[in-house]
Amino acid sequence: MTGTLKKYLMWFANEHLDFRLQPFWIAELSNEEDVKRLASRSVTLRYGIELWSHSDNPIHFHDTLRRLPSNVLEPYARPEVSFKVKVEVFGSSQTQEEKVQRIESFSYLGLRGPVKLNKPDVAFQYIEFYGLDDKNVPDQPYDYYFGRIVTEGQRDLISKLSLKKRIFIGNTSMDSQLSLIMANQGLVKNGSFVFDPFVGSGSLLVAAAQFGGYVLGADIDYLMLHGRSAPTRKQARHKPRHEESVMANMKQYGLSSQYVDLVIADFSLPLWSKTLKLDAIITDPPYGVREAMERLGTTKENKKISEKHLATHMPSKVQYTMTQLLHDLLVFAARHLRIDGRLVTWVPVIRSEYEETNLPKHECLRLLDNSEQILSTNASRRLLTYEKLKEPMVGY
Amino acid sequence: MRLLTHNMLTSKCVKGVMQGYPLGIQATKVQVMESDFNKDFVTRVIPKLDYSTLWNAAKTLGYSAELPETLVENYEGNEEFLRKVHHVLLEIEVVEGDLICPETGRKFPITSGIPNMLLNEDEVRY
């Protein structure tokens, strides 16, 4: 098959819509291994399907299937190969009876093996696509697809890393799907060095470590990093946290070898030497809504802390504005990412005031992706992915 | 705190400090834990390191015996050396102790393995 591209249907989950183009996406790839490699990293992909027929016309669609080359069909039509046909009616509904009718309409394929619903040797997928507008569902589908399921995406990882079962979470922990998407946006792979400067309970580090990243985090919140902040889970509100930490989470998922360190630090101050060179910075900075935006400082002039208070003094903090924080973040990324390394971050947005030209910019960074997650009628956050193009002129 | 992190930390946050590197280490509790050896990661991290800082830090903690004092040449294929560096970088953890600013002597406490680099509001450089 060398040199020829085959068509594969990539079927994505119908959520986080701004993060993907269409639920059904046809990819031309040279072989099945490439489909599997893609699927091994995608958490939004449901299935990768070897596309046997696709048309907007049902007659053409069935004609193509009837005239399928025998070398494509025959290996799966043999009597010893158990099979099942799955039916998806996307954007409309079907009764069980209609579903059976649809499956039987493919009887001309001449599949001779036994039907087996649980773990068949081969699974076929039939899809009717009625569009994305649920208020204007057409009488007939826009598209018909049929193919052989080659592989599944990593939807299982979402539940494996679910916050519901995680030992240590905070009030603003990122859900596992978005965390995994962020690690993918950061191109985290085996041996990548990944940093989150607003690490909190470390949910982004879990996802980055899952894909082989070595993870480092920093946060200004002493109590959070020591697992001593007020409990997050409602049923545990009456008792203090016990043995909860980012490390405990890493152990829970068997990722403790990927954990480098946590540091309590104020991001607005210089801390790292030029020896810190990162493959990715993946972060969710505080928006000032559920987590305060703070840096060290005081509004009092010439403040001095007396000797007797020094040992137990908790430093005071002042407001750290979003504009300043994002500016600092991009400058930090320009300094500490390797060339081609990526910064993946959320920014909060007031939807009516949003303009792409107002997004943070840096001459050494290029904005690659910008996807919106709507939070309320007027508020959303955008996941931004930047790539480092060159070293900044003024270093350390 | 692992020595990989120590290799990258400074006390530049303190008012008046120029380099703030390398930080001194005073450890009261050190533990050695197992971490899977990842050749790719270690090989990629070595060129970014300040090797003499790493060696000195390991020496302070009493773990430099097996590590050559200077970086060996062509280490990419030298698995024995890479494993030693891996051990020093990721398997030795300072659990309790202090990091010390080389210019001011300011101490930053390490508690439960987490260094606290926060300053008091009157020490901050703004």
Average pLDDT of the segment spanning A270-281: 95
Does the model's ipTM exceed the 0.90 cut? yes
Percent of chain A with pLDDT over 90: 67
**Mean pLDDT, chain A, integer:** 90
Beta bridge partners, A384, equal A345, A370
- pLDDT tens readout for residues B31-56: 999 999 999 999 999 999 999 999 99
Domain assignment present for B120: no
Q: What is the pLDDT of residue A305?
A: 75
The pLDDT-based confidence of A2 (bands split at 50, 70, 90) is very low
The pLDDT-based confidence of A1 (bands split at 50, 70, 90) is very low
**Res. A218: pLDDT tops 90:** yes
Q: Find the helix packing angle between A176-185 and A203-210, rounded to 10°.
A: 60
Contacts of A263 in chain B (CB under 8 A): 1, 5, 9, 114-115, 117
Q: Is B112 an interface residue toward A (CB < 8 Å)?
A: yes
Number of domains in chain B: 1
Instruction: Please name the member of A256, A271, A275 whose beta carbon is closest to the beta carbon of B50.
Output: A275
Percent of chain A with pLDDT over 70: 96
Q: Which of A177-186, A228-237, A247-256, B4-13 has the lowest mean pLDDT?
A: A228-237
Domain assignment present for B126: no
Contacts of B124 in chain A (CB under 8 A): 266, 269, 296-297
CATH (residue range A157-388): 3.40.50.150
Burial classification of residue A118, based on how many CB atoms lie within 10 Å of its CB (0-12 exposed, 13-18 middle, 19 or more buried): exposed
Task: Tell me what percent of chain B is helix, strand and coil, each rounded to the nearest 5.
Answer: 30, 25, 45
The pLDDT-based confidence of A313 (bands split at 50, 70, 90) is confident
Look at B117 and A263 and tell me if their CB atoms are within 8 Å: yes
CA A77 to centroid of chain Cα atoms: 37
Domain assignment present for B90: yes
Domain assignment present for B63: yes
Q: What is the pLDDT of residue A296?
A: 83
Q: Which domain holds residue B96?
A: 3-12+19-115
Percent of chain B with pLDDT over 70: 98
Domain assignment present for B125: no
Domain assignment present for B107: yes
Q: Structural domain boundaries of chain A?
A: 6-153, 157-388
With residue A77 as reference, give the H or E element that holds it.
Answer: helix A70-77
Look at A216 and B5 and tell me if their CB atoms are within 8 Å: yes
- pLDDT tens readout for residues A369-393: 999 999 888 999 999 999 999 999 8
Interface of A with B (CB under 8 A): 190-191, 193, 214, 216, 220, 222, 225-226, 245, 247, 256-257, 260-266, 269-273, 275-277, 296-298, 303-305, 310, 313, 315-317
**Res. A395: pLDDT tops 60:** no
**Res. A3: pLDDT tops 90:** no
Domain assignment present for B98: yes
**Mean pLDDT, chain B, integer:** 93
Burial classification of residue A138, based on how many CB atoms lie within 10 Å of its CB (0-12 exposed, 13-18 middle, 19 or more buried): exposed
The pLDDT-based confidence of B126 (bands split at 50, 70, 90) is low
Domain assignment present for B35: yes
- pLDDT tens readout for residues A77-100: 999 999 999 999 999 888 999 999
* Residue B91, domain CATH: 2.20.25.10
- pLDDT tens readout for residues B22-36: 999 999 999 999 999
Q: What is the pLDDT of residue A14?
A: 81
Q: What is the pLDDT of residue B114?
A: 96
Q: DSSP for A218-271? A: EES-HHHHTT-SPP-SGGGTTS---S--HHHHHHHTT-GGGEEEEEE--TTS--
Q: Which of B38, B54, B117, B121 to mutate to test the interface with A (most CBs of A within 10 A)?
A: B121
**Res. A299: pLDDT tops 60:** yes
Counting runs of H as helices and runs of E as strands, what totals does chain A give?
Answer: 11, 15
Nearest CA in chain B to A270: B13
Angle at A53 (CA atoms; ends A47, A59), nearest 5 degrees: 135
Average pLDDT of the segment spanning A183-203: 95
Task: Tell me what percent of chain A is helix, strand and coil, each rounded to the nearest 5.
Answer: 30, 30, 45
Look at A296 and B116 and tell me if their CB atoms are within 8 Å: no
Burial classification of residue A257, based on how many CB atoms lie within 10 Å of its CB (0-12 exposed, 13-18 middle, 19 or more buried): middle
The pLDDT-based confidence of B123 (bands split at 50, 70, 90) is confident
**Res. A146: pLDDT tops 80:** yes
- pLDDT tens readout for residues A5-60: 899 999 998 877 777 778 999 999 999 999 999 999 999 999 999 999 999 999 99
For B4, how many CA atoms within 13 A lie in the half-sphere containing its CB? 26
The pLDDT-based confidence of A148 (bands split at 50, 70, 90) is very high
Strands A214-219 and A193-196 turn out to be parallel
Q: What is the pLDDT of residue A290?
A: 67
Phi, psi of B74, deg, nearest 5: 50, 50
Q: What is the pLDDT of residue A15?
A: 79
Q: What is the pLDDT of residue A396?
A: 43
**Res. A204: pLDDT tops 60:** yes
Q: What is the pLDDT of residue A171?
A: 83
CATH (residue range A6-153): 3.30.2130.30
Residue B66 zone, left/alpha/beta (φ > 0; ψ -120 to 50; rest): alpha
